[in-house]
Amino acid sequence: MRFSKIVGLGHHVPETVITNAQLSAMMDTTDEWITERTGIKERRWIDPAKDTVANMATKATRLALKRANLTEKDIEFIVFATITPDYFFPGSGVLLQRELGLEGIGALDIRNACSGFIYALSVADQFIKSGMYKTILVVGAEIQSTAIDATTRGRNTAVIFADGAGAAILQPADKPGILSTHLHSDGRFAEELYVRDPGSSRPREERQPEQILDTTHFKVVMNGNQVFKHAVVRFMEVINEALNANSMKKEEITLLVPHQANLRISQFIQEKMALRDDQVYNNIMRYGNTTAASIPIALSEAWGEGRIKENDVICLAAFGSGFTWASALIRW
Ligand code: COA
């Protein structure tokens, strides 16, 4: 039987650091409110003159390739998770393929928001197991700062979401590797965290330029309370699902890398599951919530810090817009 394993990890975040104090100068908020409610102290915002989702993804990919001792030419397929593609269409997968100079290879875009990276990993895992490809690039990358309403009107989301990119390279292995992945969704809650535009549900007469300036077009709508309540339940469920599927106990998790939604959510899960501090990785304090990029950035940082070693059991878990939620259990 053929399995897949992650052979390289990389990440890239924009240079510009935006602190809570800087946000307080733009809108009615405070460092205390943001820290207490979300755990975030600072985040990265792109320079629109320099950065794109695809070029941040390219930088993350180059680091992952270097760490894996591979080159661009080894990549046979791209799975790209983002909800903030450079264009409404085509997706950023083909733009990354262009930047890497890999004309002709397939590029698939995944738009499952905060769960996007695990969905992407799961798709890549199946392609490797089936023997279709030998080297797959899996990316999560987002630019949210350009859509943020950086005024008091948008403060409930502007302080949370941020920019960054992470990449993983998958190759076949004789033993796992990726032990299992678990994917879920519940569209009844789609409008609890969503951006309506430029969706096709908007009638043509509402899309005229003069209408767009003064409406909720492009605004992130989030019912924070609902998201929080569902997140804590689904995170726990899907982590336990992964453990049960592999007959493992929570004590066997070397490192849980949760999607960096909100530090309070991660702490809640840690407490409920009675995990030690060294069993949970958080970096939301420095990067905010980078949606599909948060798990690969955290994984890449954790690996770079020596927190992930051979044979370790790594659990990835995510929850987000959709609602969608997912987990992956990996033997490194
Ligand atoms: N600064 C200061 N005050 C703010 C604020 C900000 N950035 N954002 C909202 N507020 C205000 C609200 O207007 C409200 O004021 P009011 O009581 O006068 O109406 C008050 O703070 C409380 O708002 P509420 O939304 O009830 O706060 P909360 O305790 O639920 O915290 C979140 C808000 C968003 C931090 C919290 O709901 C949360 O973390 N939810 C999960 C969100 C998440 O993880 N999203 C990503 C999923 S992938």
Q: List, for residues 67-81, the tens digit of each pLDDT value.
A: 999 999 999 999 999
User: What does the pLDDT read at residue 204?
Assistant: 86
Question: Domains of the chain (ranges plus CATH)?
Answer: 3-175 (3.40.47.10), 179-331 (3.40.47.10)
pLDDT greater than 90 at residue 116 = yes
* Cα-to-centroid distance, 198 and ligand 1 (Å): 25
* Cα-to-centroid distance, 224 and ligand 1 (Å): 6
To test the pocket of ligand 1, the residue of 228, 233, 235, 266 to mutate (highest count of ligand atoms within 8 Å of its CB) is: 228
User: Could you read off the pLDDT of 240-249 as tens digits, one per residue?
Assistant: 999 999 999 9
* Cα-to-centroid distance, 146 and ligand 1 (Å): 21
To test the pocket of ligand 1, the residue of 24, 37, 189 to mutate (highest count of ligand atoms within 8 Å of its CB) is: 37
Q: Note the helical H segments in 205-310.
A: 209-212, 224-245, 263-272, 284-287, 294-304
- Separation of alpha carbons 92 and 74, rounded Å: 20
pLDDT greater than 90 at residue 325 = yes
Length of the chain, please? 332
Residues in Cβ contact with 42 at an 8 Å cutoff, skipping those fewer than 6 apart: 17, 18, 19, 20, 285, 286, 288
What is the set of active-site residues? Answer: 114, 259, 289
Nearest to 58 by CA among 40, 35, 75: 75
Task: Name the average pLDDT for the chain.
Answer: 96
At 215, the pLDDT band (50, 70, 90 cuts) reads low
